[in-house]
Every structure is written in C-alpha cells, then in structure tokens.
Structure 1
Amino acid sequence: MRIISGKYKGRRISPPKGLPVRPTTDMSKEALFNVLNNHFSFEGLKILDLFAGTGNISYEFASRGSTPITAVDGDFGCVKFIKQVAAEYDFNIAATKSDVFTYIERCKTSYDIIFADPPYALDQKIFEKIIELVFEKELLNEEGMMIIEHSKYTKLDHMIHFSFQKSYGGSIFSFFEIVTDTEDDEEIDLADEEE
C-alpha cells in the first residue's frame, strides 16, 4: 500500500504477512480522500480509525497533517505494526488494542472524522450498532463526518444521520453527518446522480 498525498506522498508501506486484514485499495482510498477534501482542511483534525487493520487510513490522515489520530483494532499484530510505522514516520497515531464496541462505550473524546472498516462478512446489525453507538455517545463533533466502509450487500442508507454514499468497485463508503437539513441531502443526492 502507498500513501497517496501529503508529506509522505508516494511512500510505500509493507505490512507483514499473516495479518487478518483486507486493506482499503489505493484506488478506493484516493476516491475517499477526494470526497473528504471537499469538506475538510485536514490539518489538525482529530481522527478515530475503527477496525484500523494495517493503519492504512490513519497513515493517510497523518501524512496530510491530521492530529491526533486514534487507531483501534482488536488484533495485537495490527496494533504492533501501526505503532512501528507511527514511530518510523513520527506520526501522532495512538494505536490501541481493543474491541471496537468496548472502546466506543468507554470513549470520552469527540472526533472530527470517524472512519470504520469492519470485516465485510459481519452481520448488518453490527454495522448498524456501530453507527447508533457513535451518535448515542456523541463521539462525532458537530461539523464532523463518520464514514463506514462496507460491501454492496450491507445497506446503511436507512440509518439516522445518513448523508450520502459513494461506490468504488466492490466497496461502498457511507457517510453520516449530524446535519438534518433535507434540502442539503437532496442536493447531494442529485450531485451523485450527475457523476
């Protein structure tokens, strides 16, 4: 995998074999950050990366100047690798080994962007619970955005705070915001149809 923009643009990072991960592809990641670029200036954003895996998304935010970043994963090998990369590149990433739901329940911090990439095979109700808990615990800042990466077989557009979604190959990114203005939502939907 490679960092696509920012201070370390073009830098390749090679995770060890055997990690239980399915990293977001470079093409999907580039498309995702093109969308986010229209909404945010990345410098100084507080980021929460859930099911962080190899840390792929965290490194991209760090390269663009976001700080601090919290990367949460339940696998020891993934957390160890993220800590190694963060130390090597001097990224302000705190890698935490934890069950994601346990982390959300105990979290006392709010974030500008929350990204979650659960295993695609998880039941739809798990994806829904993640969204419900994040908003119930008020982990997202008022002008913030939550992004869930999932397969086409998982439907999240019925969830409260759903804003829009983008599809790239076999991956879908669903975006959630605190704003509830229906006119804004309709404009976004029309923009999506024109693309």
Structure 2
Amino acid sequence: MKSQLFTAFKLTFLCLLLFVVIYPLVLLGFAKLAPNQGKVKFIERQGKIVGAENVGQKFDQDRYFNSRPSAVNYNAAGSGGSNKGPSNPDYLKDVQARIDTFLVHNPGIKKSEIPSELVTASGSGLDPHLSPAGALIQVDRIALFRHISKEKLVQLVDAHTEKPLLGLFGPERVNILKLNLALDELK
C-alpha cells in the first residue's frame, strides 16, 4: 500500500511539473517567436486607441470594408465559435441573413461569388482578417460610396495584403482595421 501511495505522489508531482511549469514555459517561448511576441498590439490615431491589430472589430457601414462576422459579437473577453454545425437550422438562417444583407449592400454580386468568410464566423469569433478576395469583392460598393476609383482601392488592398508567415504558413490575408484606417486617410 505504501509503495503504491509513493508512486502516486511521484506521478502527481511529475504531472504538476510537466503541465504547470514546463508546458506553459514552452508555449511562452513559442509566443516570443510569434509576431508581436504573442501580445496584443494596439493601434492609435490622434492619441486614441482605435483598435487592436490582432482582434476583429465590427465594420458594417457601406463606406468601409466589412469585417468577418463574429459569433461572440466581437467581445474579446471571451472568444468562441457558435458551436452550431453546418446543418443546424439556426446556423443556416444566420448565414442566409448575412448573404441577403451582403447582396443588398453589394448589388451586382452573385451569391456564388461571395467568399465564405464574409458570411461565416471564424472559430474564435475575433478574426481580424479577410482573404484578399473577401476585400476585393467589396471594392465596387466602396468606390461608389466614397467616389474613389476602383483602381485606387485595388491598389490599397494589394498594399495591405499580408503574405504567409515565412512565405509558407497560412494564406494571404488583409487586416480589415488597418485597411479601413488607410481608406480614411485617402483623399
């Protein structure tokens, strides 16, 4: 009995050491190698914080590039997806409502042309990025609303397209907050 108890204590101590000390330190080490060392980078304009580079924000006005929908209403205190499967009737209603809204604000676009990230929430609900296609499909609406040439907006999207990490990891993406801030700076 004593030998089993001693073995249990050793195993408990080993697990505590491994999962409470070593594992978090390894994750911290990887975070230090990530962009911004794994920390939120706030973006300021005229001395005020306007958002965080790594956290999505709601942009749904016609004058801006729309952001990706959020299942948590862009609440950074707790990220999460909707946990509804692709055949869930409530989920399908939400997606259809987003499609209908997008088509109303972007006439001339066919349903089949809408990139999925514009009508589906990300797993975290806080994704600040869209694909270049997700941004470019909105150019006609913004050009019409702001009286800016489409070519200038396409150049703006291209200038704000981030390449994959180390040229290998992840797809090309556009940070919508940075893109919209640059859009406001256009004359």
- Which has more radius of gyration? 2
Q: Which has the higher helix share?
A: 2
Q: Which has the higher strand share?
A: 1
Q: Is TM (by shorter chain) over 0.5?
A: no
Q: Which has the higher contact order (CA 8 A, sep 6+)?
A: 2
